[in-house]
Amino acid sequence: MKILILGGTTEARELAGKLDARDGTEVLLSLAGRTAHPREQGVPTRIGGFGGAGGLASFVRDENIRLLVDATHPYADKISANAHRAAEETGVLFLSLRRAPWEKRPGDTWIEADTAADAVEALGERPARVFLALGRKDIAPFEAAPQHAYLVRSVDPIDPPLAVPNAIYVTARGPFSEADDRALLERHRIGVVVSKNSGGSASYGKIAAARALGLPVIVVRRPALPDVPSAATVAEAVAWCDHAFTGEAMRGV
């Protein structure tokens, strides 16, 4: 059973390790290549795109992939759509591993926005000190609001930097604790946080820290994703795969 996992998340790495350890499975983990120095994944790994849905479908056929798992970031909607189309075209087993979103808790002040551009509008005209907890490719819209002071944290350096007069850049790789993020917010006198609703624990520290400090969080909603078989945790994904593998074996595939 050859398995292709589209990864880049903690869950993808964990699932790859669990499936690779099983007899009769061969796992290949694919990373998009957006991070210059990704973590060691522990299984055979390829880096780079496929050339859209068609290219991914060709790869699946050429490599005789029997199971395709989309375990990319919840906001990687284009990759997810391509994965779904490739699975439909090739007829392989398909699973989406998507961690559950964060839920608003008592004490949270959330302002929801559909896109990063909407988040810019939500900041308003009055100058504020803003922590941008977004991906490198998501911060460009904030150049339209140069009156704010920005704190940007990313795994890789932001190059080119934002075309705004006041921005500070921090390169760091999570997970980030509530205590660490609270110290960061206090040190830079942050007044508002802008974040995706990524889910999971690795990046929840900023949400908890904002709650503790009474800061508003502009939360960019998740994009719509294909309606496909899905799992919210690695354990659920493993159970789904076990069931799928049994069905494949019974059919003699």
- Which CATH number fits the domain that encloses residue 128? 3.40.50
- Whether 66 and 165 map to the same domain: the answer is no
pLDDT tens figures, 213-245: 999 999 999 998 888 999 999 999 999 998 888
Q: In sequence order, what are the residues at sequence separation of 6 or more whose Cβ sits closer than 8 angstroms to the Cβ of residue 111?
A: 122, 216, 217, 218, 219
How far apart, in whole angstroms, are the C-alpha atoms of residue 160 and residue 152?
A: 13
Residue 47 is encoded by which pair of tokens? Answer: 């880096």
Q: Among all chains, which residue has been given the structure tokens 């917010």?
A: 185
Average pLDDT score over residue span 12-40: 84
- Whether 180 and 149 map to the same domain: the answer is yes
Within a 10 A sphere around the Cβ of 143, how many other Cβ atoms?
Answer: 13
- Whether 26 and 123 map to the same domain: the answer is no
- Whether 113 and 214 map to the same domain: the answer is yes
pLDDT tens figures, 39-57: 677 789 999 999 999 999 9
pLDDT at 24: 86
Q: Which of 56, 54, 47, 59 is nearest to 7 (CA)?
A: 47
CATH (domain of 32): 3.40.50.720
How far apart, in whole angstroms, are the C-alpha atoms of residue 79 and residue 32?
A: 9
- Whether 24 and 121 map to the same domain: the answer is no
- Whether 141 and 69 map to the same domain: the answer is no
- Whether 154 and 205 map to the same domain: the answer is yes
- Whether 88 and 24 map to the same domain: the answer is yes
Average pLDDT score over residue span 185-199: 97
Q: 59: domain range?
A: 2-100+224-251
Whether pTM exceeds 0.85: yes
- Whether 62 and 145 map to the same domain: the answer is no
Residue 250: pLDDT band (50, 70, 90) is: very low
Say how far residue 225 (Cα) sits from the centre of its chain. Answer: 13
- Whether 214 and 240 map to the same domain: the answer is no
How far apart, in whole angstroms, are the C-alpha atoms of residue 42 and residue 201?
A: 21
- Whether 161 and 244 map to the same domain: the answer is no
Domains: count for the chain: 2
Residue 120: pLDDT band (50, 70, 90) is: very high
